[in-house]
Chain A
C-alpha cells in the first residue's frame, strides 16, 4: 500500500467525492470530514514513512500513459513537495470541519474533495503533462466555488480568475511541449518526465526563452506583480473556505513550480533573471503592502498581504542558495497556515455580521476576547514575529538573498515594516477602541466549530516557529540536491558565481548535452 500511497492520496478524495453524490444531505458533513480525516491520516503516514535523510524522490510510481510520446504517469515526493501535500490534506480537513452553514453543502463538500485531488496531484506529479493536467483541473473546482457561493461580483471574479490563470498556463504548456521536443532533439526519445529533463543542459539563449514561457504561467499563479489583480477579486468574492484553500494551497502551486521547474531546468536563466525578478518581488512586497494599508475591507487586507508575502517567497527562491530556497519553501507552508487562518478568522466575523468592512467594527476585543487573541497570534505570525512559523521562513529567505544583493535585501526587508503597518492598522480598526455599533455589542465569541479549526492552526503556528526542524530538515536535504544540480548544470560564469557549490570536488553526472548531439 505504501508503494501506491501517492496514487491513493490523489484519487481517494476523488472517488470519495463521486460516492458523495449518493450520501444523504444530513450525513454529508460527517462523510466529508471523515474522508478528509482519512486523507490527512494517509498524508501523515506518508510523512512518517518518508525518509528525511534522502534528498531524492521517494514513493515513485511509474505507469506509461502514451509511451510513444514519453508521457508517463510518474509520481513522487521529496522534501519540497511533501509538506505542501500534508498541508493540503490538513486544510481540506479543517476547511470541511469548520464549514459554516452554506447552501448546497453537499455540492460544496464534493467540490472540495475534487479540489483536493487536483492539489495533491499537482504536488506529487513528476511528469510535465500529468502536472499540467492537475494544474488546470484545479481551476475548475475553484471556479465553481467562487462562482456558486461567492459574493455579488462572483461571476466576474470567477471568470477573471479562470481566464487569467488559464491564459498563463497555456503559455506554460507551450514551454513544456517545446522542452519535450528539445529533449527529443537531444536524445532521440520523447520524454515529459521532469527528472529526465533535469539531465538536460540547454544553451543559454534557449533557457531564457523557455524560462520566460514558464515564468508567465507561474507568475500569474503566484500571483506576481503586475499579474496580481485577479487575486483581490477572487478573495473578495470567494466564500471563506474558498479563500482559505486558495491562499493556503493554490497560490503555492506557482512558487512550488518555480522550484520544481524553473530553477533546476534553467539555472543560467535563473541566475540571469535573478535581479529583475527580485525587483518585481520587492515591488510586490512594498507596493501591495501599501495597497493593503489603504483597504477598507479586512478580507482584502489579508488578500493583498498574501501577495506581499508571496514576494518574500519569490525572493527567497531566487536567492539560489540553500538558505534562501529552504526558507522560501518553509515560508510557503508558513504562509499557508497563517493566511489560511486569517481568512478563517475573517470568515468568523463575516458569518456574524455579513460585512467585512472595517468601519463597521471597532472595539470587538471587548466582546470577543478569545477571537481577538487568536487573531492577535495570527497577526503576529503574519508580521513575522520570531518564534512563530512565518519568521523562520522570512528570516531564511531574506538571509539567503542577502548573499546575492545587499541593497535589494535591505529594500525587501521593509516587508517587516510595511507588513506591521497594515496589519496593526487593520487590527486596531477591528478590535481596538470602544464598541460604537449597536450590532457589535452582542457578538458571540468564537464557537466550538470554529475553534476546531483555529486551535490546531495556532498550535502549528507556534510549534513550527519554535521547533521547525522536523520540517526544515527534509526540505534542507532536498534543496541541497537541487542547488548542487543547478551548480553542476550551470554553464555561464554568472550562474556559477551566483549558485554556490556545496561539495568540494565536482561530481560529474552523466549529462546529455544538446551541443554534443548536434
Chain B
C-alpha cells in the first residue's frame, strides 16, 4: 500500500516537473524543475531497491550536472523569455507518444513471454551497493574503466572548448579571410 502511494505520488510529481521543463518559457524555471524531477526519479530507484543507483542519481544529476548547467547558464542571457517558433503541435506530440509506446512494446515483448533469464541475480540479504560493486568490478570492469576514461576525456574537452578563444573559425571563413588571419598571426609572432 505504501509502495503504491509512493509510486503514484512520485510519478505525478516527476511528470509535472518534466512537463514544466518542456513547456516553460523561463530557462531558470526549467532548470529548477529538471533538478527537482531528477530527485524525484531517485525516489523510484529507492523504491525499487536500487539504493546505489538512487544515490548516484542524486549526486551526479542534481549535484554535478545541474551545477554544470547552472554555471553554463551564467554565460547566457537567461532572464529573457525564451522565444520559440512553433510548428504543428499535433505532429510533435503524436510522434513522441508513438515512439515511446513502440520502445516500450519492444522492450516489454520478451518479458511478456517470460523468457528473460537473470544473468546476475540479486542475492538476498546482501546490500545493493555491495552487489553492484561486485558486478561492476568483475563483469563490467572494462566498460567501467572505459566510462572513467570517457568522463576524463569529456572533462578535458569541456575545459578546452569553453576556455579556447573561438572568435575565428577556419571552416566558416573563405580563403581570403584565412589568408588575412594568417598574416595577422605572423605579424604577432614577428613583433
**When A and B assemble into the complex, do they touch directly, with CB atoms less than 8 Å apart?**
no
Residues of chain B whose beta carbon lies under 8 Å from any beta carbon of chain A: none
Residues of chain A whose beta carbon lies under 8 Å from any beta carbon of chain B: none
